[in-house]
A and B are shown apart, each in its own frame.
Chain A
Amino acid sequence: MKKSLIALAATAALALTACSTDTETGSDGTDAAASLTVADAWVKAVDDGMTGAFALITNGTGDDLTITGATTDAASMVELHETVMDDAGATVMQEVDGGFTVGAGETFTLEPGGNHLMLMGVTAPLEPGAEVSMTLELADGSTVPFTAVVKEFTGAQESYAPESEDMDMSPSASADLDGS
């Protein structure tokens, strides 16, 4: 059962991405793309401001791989965020130091309330059911393109950490992830 479920999930992820890969994937990142695979990618629907992207990222190689950044045309900036507990016991999100390292053969989970990709300066409304092309940047200079589907989502309404030193360049840093 477990095996078939995983296979189905992978199939579903492929199906979601299958229809919009003609223009965005380009020719970059071919090496790492074969080794780091992205499944179940989705982005929380917003009209503007900030939002999060989530996925299961699997490292099929025998070496650890580190994700150092991400890009998308749907937002002016993307950061790699972790969720931590602050001194008052509240969960806050902040940019992670040193990127996300995906261990050899392991799956790294980006999820609401946990590690995620933070999209800032969303350029156009992200409407449920639409697809967003994104690219992961790895420490070795390669890139991994993937497609995320936009989903309506109201869960895990963490507040963003406004005092984070890493965030001094972002004027909208104090807004909620929810953006509403």
Chain B
Amino acid sequence: MSRGDTAATHAPSRRGFLTGSAAAAGVAVGAAGGAYAAHAAQPGPATDTAGLNGARTHDFHGTHQAGVTSSPGAHGAFLAFDLPAGSVKDDLRRLMRLWTDDARRLMSGAGALADTEPELATAPAGLTVTVGWGPKAVALAGGSEAVPSWLRPLPDFSIDALEDRWSDGDLLVMIHSDDPVTVSHALRMVSKDATNLATERWRQTGFRQAYGSHPSGTTMRNLFGQVDGTANPPLASDDFAARVWIQDGWLAGGTSFVLRRIRMELDTWDQVDRIGRENAVGRTVDTGAPLTGEAEHDEPDFDAVDARGFPIISDVSHIRRARPDDPSQRIVRLAYNYDDAPRGNEPAEAGLLFGSLQADVDAQFVPIQRRLAEADLLNVWTTPVGSAVFAILPGCTEDGYLGDTLLD
């Protein structure tokens, strides 16, 4: 399946419109003018005039789940569930059939079956509902031999201060939409249908720039003010596919997802001047261009030196440490900001729900995380406080359900 952007009520589709406008005019639209000119395959930011965004839908069915193949909505919820002790395979099958039916209907803009508030489902706004499994669910469905070697908690990193309340889980549901009411309703249906079959372990919600605030396709900013996610390949590209999709076995068409909750110390970040901030990341704050370039998508030049012979992009900057020398180690980022109120005696907490998609956690994500744990100037202001790893199930057909490649 290609990306499932199907604008049911307006033609041309939103994505078709974006592609068409970029191709036809070759124009650099908006404030980031020219930033993406070198990336012909990636439609640049463009104002969306294609119609009511609430009516926008993604196809549920296909080789892959739509939450991976589409650009993430402005609002995201990540829910982890645990399977009760004594769960059997048929319990998981029944839950997957229920969640599949919910996702299929809600993503189309219809209420779920037995939905007591179907009116809350009428504006999907690009809703996606995506399901993943932890090792216990995989073993329940297909035995321990079905559990991929990478499906386990990440190794310990020196920078981690992980809390159980944000970590691990047997099942994951990712809900993305441009409309927060739609997200809330989908979340409610998924939770209701888990009754007696799974218990919610944690819930993390986040946000990106709202739909319509910036031209569609603009790279998001995190709460440090940084352009965040520039290195992602275009969604339908071969590069994206090579990084993300599992090719063989029951997970063919699926992928893996790491969710790291990264607390960001806004108070101490405030004390850093702009030069210090840009040095820590290796990019300018205003455009996100590498310090050696002019535009966001320019390739960083890690060999460039200044008049005194020092690297322009620091060897311990975030982009230098995060960038693999081995292209096979690359990942796809799927991030949301969070900004949570104080709880009890704990202060307010802001940060990034840093999601990473890759075919193999151990081969792609872990080497990057290991390098960042060893040295990354950003570590001064960031602390991972949650960590979870899931297998994202392949998509399913109209006759099937999520997880059927192992449950049937």
A: which residues have CB within 8 A of B? 1, 4-5, 8-9, 11-12, 14-16, 18-19, 40, 42, 44, 54, 112, 127-130, 149, 151-153, 155
Contact = CB atoms under 8 A, between A and B. Distances in A.
Is the contact region of chain A dominated by helix, strand, or loop, or is it mixed? mixed
B108 A129 contact: no
Interface in B392-408: 398-401
Nearest to B401: A15
B193 interface: yes
Contacts of B116: 155
B101 interface: yes
B9 interface: yes
B114 A42 contact: yes
A151 B95 contact: no
B323 to A, nearest CB: 43
B159 interface: no
B119 to A, nearest CB: 13
Given A42-B113, A153-B114, A12 B104 contact: yes
A2 B3 CA distance: 23
A149 B94 CA distance: 10
- Leading 10 A-B pairs by shortest Cβ distance: A129-B94, A151-B114, A152-B195, A8-B108, A1-B9, A129-B98, A155-B116, A18-B399, A1-B8, A153-B114
A50 to B, nearest CB: 17
B55 to A, nearest CB: 6
Given A9-B108, A129-B94, 20 more contacts: A5-B108, A8-B108, A8-B110, A11-B398, A12-B113, A14-B398, A14-B399, A15-B398, A15-B400, A18-B399, A40-B113, A44-B114, A128-B95, A128-B98, A128-B195, A130-B94, A149-B98, A149-B113, A151-B113, A151-B193
Contact of A128 (B55, B110, B197, B398): B197
Contacts of A42: 113-114
B360 to A, nearest CB: 32
Nearest to A156: B116
Given A42-B114, A54-B114, A149-B113, A128 B196 contact: yes
Contacts of A127: 94, 196
A149 B9 contact: no
Contacts of B104: 8, 12, 15
A153 B400 CA distance: 24
Interface of B: 8-9, 55, 93-95, 97-98, 101, 104-105, 108-110, 113-114, 116, 192-193, 195-197, 398-401
A54 to B, nearest CB: 7
Nearest to A13: B113
17 contacts: A1-B55, A4-B108, A8-B108, A11-B398, A12-B101, A12-B104, A15-B398, A15-B399, A44-B114, A112-B114, A129-B97, A129-B197, A130-B94, A149-B113, A151-B114, A151-B193, A152-B195
B109 A1 contact: yes
A155 B189 CA distance: 13
A112 B98 CA distance: 19
Contacts of B197: 128-129
Given A15-B104, A127-B94, A128-B196, A9 B398 contact: no
Contacts of B8: 1, 4
Contact of B196 (A1, A40, A149, A152): A152
Contacts of B196: 127-128, 152
A5 to B, nearest CB: 5
Nearest to A9: B110
A172 to B, nearest CB: 23
Nearest to A7: B108
Contacts of B108: 4-5, 8-9
Contacts of A151: 98, 113-114, 193
B52 to A, nearest CB: 10
B114 A8 contact: no
B353 to A, nearest CB: 29
A150 to B, nearest CB: 8
A129 B114 contact: no
A42 B113 CA distance: 8
Contacts of B113: 12, 40, 42, 149, 151
A52 to B, nearest CB: 11
